[in-house]
Structure 1
Amino acid sequence: MSQESARVHENSEPNESGSECESVVCKRSRNAISEVWTYFQRSKDKTRAKCLSCEKVYKTSGNTSNLLDHLKRTHPGYNRMSKPNKITSFFNASETYDSHSAQDEAFSAFVKLLDPRYMMPSRTKLQNVMCHELYDQSKANLKNILMKVDTCAISTDAWTSRANESYLTVTCHFIENCSLRSAVLSTYNLLESTNHSAANIAESLRIVLTEWGVLDKVLHVVTDNASSMIKACELLQKRHLPCFTHTLNLVVQDVLAFEKVKNVITKCKKVVTYFKSSSIAYAKFKNAQGTGKNPKSTRTLSADEIELLEELVELLALFDDATIQVSASNSVTISLIIPIICILFQTLNETHNKLKTNEGLAIFNILIERLQIRLVPYENRTTPKMSTLLDPRFKKEEFRNHIIAEQAALALENELSNMLKTLSPVVTDLPTHTVTSPESSTQQPKIAPLFMFLNDKVAGKRKSTRADAIIMLRQYFENQNLPHDFDPFEYWKTNTDMKVLTQCALRYLCTPATSTEPERVFSKS
């Protein structure tokens, strides 16, 4: 202890009550102890401190953090260590905002601590006024955005709540400033809650889409594989696309229904259940996996079963990766369908040579058969084909079948030609003869009538949108493919030379490959 500090303690006098605490003088040198002792008395043994205002006693070993915290929480008026400023004056203001109801005392006190002038609205106002105002404002903003959109796609699914009420969630997918956007338009009660027919679903969808002004803008509808959903799209005269993740899951379920697979998975579940229900067994498992010595333990897996499980994991891991890839929300997924089908076939054939068990070979055969039945039809659907061609990462190169790729390119050529016709100005027929002045007739007699057939060819050339479409596609296909991690929207955003092709690309690439967006609404609810 310094000499100056010693003099401070020597000059201290006991308080009137004669307690062990001694007063610490307020006037200190620049090297003296913390100013917190202005508001506390410290005991002679320096292990306790008593608040001079409320006589609250704290243990202390020289650290004043708890004492300072006590002053800030309990006696803000005594804490003069900080100079008053505008912020302090604002939060210490006595006036409050208007309020019409009481709130939970603890939360109200917390809010008052944050801002003493703010009084929270009541639950009724939050529920019946503010939430409705926020919804109306958000709805108006979204309607303004959708009003500027030329085309869009929707994904939808029906579900039943725990209260046994039927709902239809509709999500809209569109392009804004060459960026993919998604928005939930509605979670709407079916018109007839007990009727899940295609007609009821179609009419419920029509009401939602009409309310948002996009009924005529929707080009594609993505749903699960339910027949009622497919029929509803037919009634609405909208192009339907089955959810790709649902189809992938059906392929996997076909494998899991295989008798040998069912038996080994059932055994695995029993083993896991046993370890989770017995802490002793789990401890032994962690130490030495000595569960076989426990008479209550389940039968362990044989070497053949373990080998089968390893092959099953290797085969089905492909489908897990594919499901994750096509379930993204903020990136293009529709153009991934055909490349993923190609990769699944190629990778499965490469894995075939590594399989050792008869069961693994049987699973492989089931997968190939199910892929042919469930996934190959996607290669003949217009939307996946066009999307793959219009994705600068894939184009024709990611098709499994070269003939299908060429057929898709021809269909795209036809669509571009039709789009160019609607955009091209009307070209009037040239006159069949030319009227000239006497002066000009003496210089070029009868030349125009002789070459009149050329005018017809020129006019025909000007009207040939087919040639323009062919040239545009040739230029696009001959350009180098982009890396797989590149955003295709960035390509079309900067592609100013082929505006019609860009427009066509955005029409298809906004469509999602799955209906996971409305299903996420179910999960949240």
Structure 2
Amino acid sequence: MAPIAVVEQPGFVRMLKTLDSRYSLPSRHYFARQELPRLYTTERERLAAELEKVTDYALTTDMWSSRTCEPYMCVTIHYILDWKIKSACLQTTYFPQDHMGENIAEALRDVTTTWMLNPNGPVAITTDNGVNIVCAVQNNTWQRMQCFGHRLHLAIEHLERRKQCPKDTSDGPNTARNVSENNVSSRGKPKSAWTKVEVNAVMRHFRSHISEGHLASMREFEVCKRCEHPVLQNRTVQNIRDFVRN
């Protein structure tokens, strides 16, 4: 997939002139303002008409950030029609709100309402194991399925990290899981294992959040880092947030 601006690049223009010198290539503004909106409207109407025939369906959702750190939520539907399994991306929505379970639950309900899906909800929804998304699904009283790909990825990472650091289960299975899962950064670079002192410092602030499935705000993570100085001096606010979420 190439950006729209490719139609104005000299090499692309020269290639089309070679293929057919009579062809007049539209500008990127034509595609952005006319063709893509028209294509979107056509495909949305087609999908909406098809989903009117669907009574049972499943969903997949995930939260992600763009290269400019803008947060989005993507929702995909899966269904069977005429004995064929089909999938379609319903929407990828800008999600600037706090990523709390209540906000995510409301956004997911809005998707089913907007597309006029079965009000009883999906047969199941597949997600990762983030505390906030788990809480959101529970709030909607939907059946949640763990993402196999996500679990497999965590299992492989866990196996690789066990070769680098000894297993420590002195503070219970949840602590051992958190220590190992947070030993690699979001960019895949190794980072130092969480010590028992660091874990205890974080748990003093977020034990209830973890047990009750609530995601803390960035302000709370900042307070935790400041209050637990110097114990957490080598951890960033994002490190602490990732630790609590996983």
TM-score, scaled relative to structure 2: 0.58
- The equivalent position to 2:151 in structure 1, one of 223, 247, 261, is 247
- In structure 2, the partner of 1:238 is 142
SS of 2:61's equivalent? Answer: strand
Give per-residue Cα distances to partners, 1:160-184, cap 9 Å, x unaligned. 2221111101111111221211111
* Identical amino acids, percent of aligned pairs: 32
Q: What's 1:138 paired with?
A: 43
Contact 1:154-1:220 at 8 Å conserved across structures = yes
Q: Is the 8 A contact 2:126 2:145 kept in 1?
A: yes
Cα pair distance change 1:116/1:229, threshold 3 Å = same
Note the alpha carbon deviations across 1:448-472, whole angstroms, 9 max, x for none: xxxxxxxxxxxxxxxxxxxxxxxxx
SS of 2:25's partner is coil
- Structure that is richer in helix per residue: 1
Q: 1:105 to 1:169 in 2, by over 3 A?
A: closer
Cα offset for 1:124? 0.8
Q: Which residue of 2 aligns with 1:161?
A: 66
Look up the SS of the partner of 1:262 in the other structure.
Answer: coil
- 2:125 & 2:112 partners in 1: Cα distance? 12
Which among 121, 131, 136 is matched to residue 227 of structure 1?
131
Q: Which runs of 5+ in 2 are unaligned?
A: 1-6, 166-246
1:348-372 per-residue CA deviation (whole Å, 9 max, x = no partner) reads xxxxxxxxxxxxxxxxxxxxxxxxx
Does the Cα contact within 8 Å between 2:55 and 2:118 map onto a contact in 1? no
Note if 1:203 corresponds to 2:110. no
Superimposed CA distance per residue, residues 393-420 of structure 1 (whole angstroms, 9 cap, x where no aligned partner):
xxxxxxxxxxxxxxxxxxxxxxxxxxxx
Q: Could you list the per-position Cα deviations for residues 191-231 of structure 1 after superposition, in whole angstroms to 9, with x for gaps in the alignment?
A: xx150100111112122222222252522111011121111
2:16 corresponding residue in structure 1: 111
Larger Rg: 1
Q: How does 1:9-408 map to 2 (within 5 A)?
A: 107-190=12-95, 193-214=96-117, 216=119, 218-258=122-162, 261-262=163-164
Distance 2:107 2:8 in 1: 40
Q: Is the 8 A contact 2:137 2:143 kept in 1?
A: yes
- Structure 1 consecutive aligned stretches of length 4 or more whose deviation exceeds 6 Å: none
Cα displacement (A) at 1:150:
1.5
Backbone CA RMSD of aligned residues: 2.5
* Alignment map for 1:495-506 (pairs within 5 Å): none
Paired with 1:249 and 1:113, the residues of 2 have a C-alpha distance of 47
**Residues in 2 aligned to 1:106 and 1:250: alpha-carbon distance in whole angstroms:** 43
CA contact (8 A) 1:172 1:184 kept: yes
* Structure 2 SS opposite 1:140: helix
Instruction: State how far apart, in whole Å, the 2-side matches of 1:244 and 1:106 are.
Output: 43
- Relative to structure 1, is the Cα distance of residues 262 and 177 closer, same or farther in structure 2, using a 3 angstrom cutoff? same
Report the Cα distance in structure 2 between the residues aligned to 1:105 and 1:251, rounded to whole angstroms: 47
Distance 1:109 1:203, change over 3 A: same
Pick closer, same or farther for the CA change 1:151–1:106 going to 2, 3 Å. Answer: same
Preserved contact between residue 198 and residue 232 of structure 1 (Cα < 8 Å):
yes
Distance in 1 between the 2:160 and 2:13 partners?
55
CA–CA distance in structure 2, aligned partners of residues 133 and 213 of structure 1? 22
Q: State the distance in 2 between where 1:166 and 1:103 align.
A: 30
Deviations 1:246-269 (A, max 9, x none): 3334344443343xx227xxxxxx
| In 1: Cα distance, 2:11 partner to 2:66 partner | 34
Contact persistence 1:206–1:215 (CA under 8 A): no
The CA deviation at 1:134 is: 0.9
1:481-510 per-residue CA deviation (whole Å, 9 max, x = no partner) reads xxxxxxxxxxxxxxxxxxxxxxxxxxxxxx
Q: Distance in 2 between matches of 1:142 and 1:132?
A: 15
* TM superposition score normalised by structure 1: 0.28
On the 8 A contact 1:209/1:215 being kept in 2, the answer is: yes
What amino acid does structure 2 have at the position aligned with 1:189?
Y
Q: Which amino acid aligns with 1:228?
A: N
